[in-house]
Structure 1
Amino acid sequence: MMASVQPTTEPAGLASIPRHIAIIMDGNGRWAAAHHLPRALGHRRGADAVRRTVEACIAEGIAVLTLYAFSSENWKRPADEVEDLMALLRLYLKREINDLHQNGVRVRFMGALKDLSADLQMMIKKAEARTINNKKLTLVIALNYGSQAEIVMACKALAQKAVAGEITPNEINCQMLANHLQLADLPQPDLVIRTSGEKRLSNFLLWQSAYSELLFLDILWPDFNAESLKTAIRDYQGRERRFGGR
């Protein structure tokens, strides 16, 4: 039985520290172009920003950080760029997993992981297994992820249960569907950040972000740092969260 999504318990009023921050890491290519460097180097500088952001989240007491690393639509990019991104992920897991583990970070993945190469799937399983008992920060990496596909899979699972007679169609509600999304045991994101100045969610956590605060920053992802995170948190704390109540 899948765990239920944890509903927000934060009362209406000014927000406190967000429990869950989700980030659309955008702008690696534009950063590279602005510095007259190859796109691959922009992605590598983006990986450095991931390290800084994880450290900053630990320092700020954030419980969950979800990063949109590779969307299901990113396969449309040039093959050499896709391969570079996958190689960078392998390098990140090899290089960072020890530090993540020692710093109490639990690593989890979401997305269509079965479509990835066998060696990468094995690295993902090992990283998740090694860090499973860590509690200081949960780092979720959305990889080959698309929110619409995730919702469709949840609907298919409910349809199969209905066909099997385990539930009736009339029993299906929002909470039941939410329970069949990936990582349904985690709190929904309080704050969704997108860098690079773009103002859209790009198929990222569409269901989970129904009542998230959204923040669009002009900064390119490789330039994101601890001060950027603090600024985002201060912005979030200045907002009044109503959740449709008034």
Structure 2
Amino acid sequence: MRRKLAAGNWKMNGLRAALSEIEALAPKAAAAPGCDVLICPPATLIAPAVTAATGSEVMIGGQDCHAEASGAHTGDISGLMLRDAGASHVILGHSERREDHGERSEDVHAKVEAAWNADLIAIICVGESLDQREAQNTLDIVGAQMSLSIPDGVTGLNTVIAYEPVWAIGTGKVPTTDQIGEVHDFMRARLERRFGAGVGRSVRLLYGGSVKASNAGEIFRVSNVDGALVGGASLKAAEFGGIIEALAGV
């Protein structure tokens, strides 16, 4: 059985005062024993967030890592550094990294291997733009990103895949459940074909893009949706707690 996962990506938001949201999230995570709960704050908050989450079911992750373990890379952070700070996961290949920083799927591939070497679980993001969706190229784009971003050696223990249609991130626009299901079924089939049924069925598939408590239940009932990668709605424990509750109830 794949464990459900509610992952929150705080992006470039959060000062020390925001750590109270992690503390407030602890009882909500405890009330959902069938779900994993993860918060990925900015790098400055990872270590204090781990402290804030001590004794709870809430896990802490990073939002990116460099492909190298160390070196002359000013401003970057390595997977080993994230692990040393107490992180268990890292988000890689998010569309904002691909667009704003020019990251290619080949770059994501190298970062995933670095994350694995640091004993981090990689959350690999894939997704299409609005132009690609309207041109009916969604599956081609997602398939190509999966092929190039995911290294050999993937297992259900070291990797999570998140489908985030770029046009739905932070816009309030949400694909129909049929559209989400089509992509998630496609991703599952691709994983099974490449890695075999056992591994392919063990990897968790998350949906991300304007997920909130009010629409989470409908999304989580879609085939092959094992949870969500949540942006803005994860910043407040009350809203993210509603998403966790919806996931636990499916």
Give TM class, smaller chain: 0.3 to 0.5
TM-score, length-normalised on structure 1?
0.39
Larger Rg, first or second structure (1 or 2): 1
